């Protein structure tokens, strides 16, 4: 790759072709790999946490969960609709999901997200890698994914609590 240099105001040069940044975040969940994986592809579940926040839930979610299929998540910020779009590149059920992601304010900047899920004795570990992003977005993106994965954990926990309630009584884990 050829790097073009342009002088800055202070006389130093900077690369015009800065290398794209990448981040990696790892998180453990008590939920089994199947539930964690499915939470990415089930529209009614993904809309609660993926790209959403407690204050800004998704207003519209479309997921075509197949290789070559696409997704679209829309949220309302003030009077503006912000969309998160991408295409599924690889889907290995309960283990790996790879998709592109376009940035709302930079639609031509197509990034790549890889989600790898590893089973553990109890639950699983999720490793998320986000690549090919503009370097100036790396810190914000890492903070945002940290919050999004926190939301995934809260969503999985709330679904687990709901699924252990049956007929008005709470089941013990030993009852399941």
Q: What is the mean pLDDT of the chain?
A: 83
Q: How far is CA 122 from the centre of its chain?
A: 22
pLDDT for 167: 46
3-state SS assignment for residue 146? helix
Segment 117-135, tens digit of pLDDT: 999 999 999 999 999 988 8
Q: How does pLDDT run across 30-53, given as a tens digit for each residue?
A: 999 999 999 999 999 999 999 887
Query: What ranges do the domains of the chain cover?
Result: 18-159
Please compute the mean of the pLDDT values over residues 142-170 and round it to a whole number: 78
End-to-end CA distance of the chain: 57
Query: Does residue 156 carry a pLDDT above 80?
Result: yes
The sign of the torsion formed by the CA atoms of 146, 148, 154, 156 equals: negative
Is the distance from CB of 71 to CB of 88 less than 8 angstroms? yes
Which of helix, strand or coil describes residue 35?
helix
DSSP 16-66: SSPPPEEEEEEEEESS-HHHHHHHHH-HHHHHHHTT--SSS--SEEEE--S
Report DSSP letters for 151-168, one per residue: HHHHHHHHHHHHHTEETT
- Given a cut of 80, is residue 7 above it in pLDDT? no
Mean pLDDT for the stretch of residues 65-72: 97
* pLDDT of 68 over the 90 cut: yes
The whole-number pLDDT of residue 163 equals 60
Rounded CA separation 155/107 (Å): 29
Q: Which two tokens stand for residue 62?
A: 């479309």
Fold (CATH) for 18-159: Alpha-D-Glucose-1,6-Bisphosphate; Chain A, domain 4 (3.30.530)
Give the global pTM: 0.79
């Amino acid at each position: 790759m050829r790097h073009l240099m342009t002088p800055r105001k202070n006389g130093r040069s900077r690369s015009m072709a800065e290398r794209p940044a990448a981040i990696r975040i790892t998180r453990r969940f008590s939920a089994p790999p199947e539930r964690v994986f499915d939470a990415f592809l089930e529209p009614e579940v993904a809309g609660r946490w993926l790209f959403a926040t407690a204050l800004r839930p998704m207003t519209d979610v479309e997921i075509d969960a197949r290789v070559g299929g696409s997704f679209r998540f829309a949220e309302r910020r003030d009077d503006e609709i912000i969309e998160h779009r991408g295409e599924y590149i690889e889907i290995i059920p309960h283990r790996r999901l790879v998709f592109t992601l376009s940035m709302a304010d930079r639609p031509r900047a197509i990034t790549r997200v890889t989600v790898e899920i590893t089973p553990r004795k109890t639950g699983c570990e999720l490793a998320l890698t986000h690549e090919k992003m503009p370097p100036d977005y790396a810190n914000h993106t890492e903070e945002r994914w940290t919050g999004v994965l926190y939301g995934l954990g809260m969503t999985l926990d709330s679904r687990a609590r709901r699924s252990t309630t049956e007929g008005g009584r709470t089941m013990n884990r030993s009852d399941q």
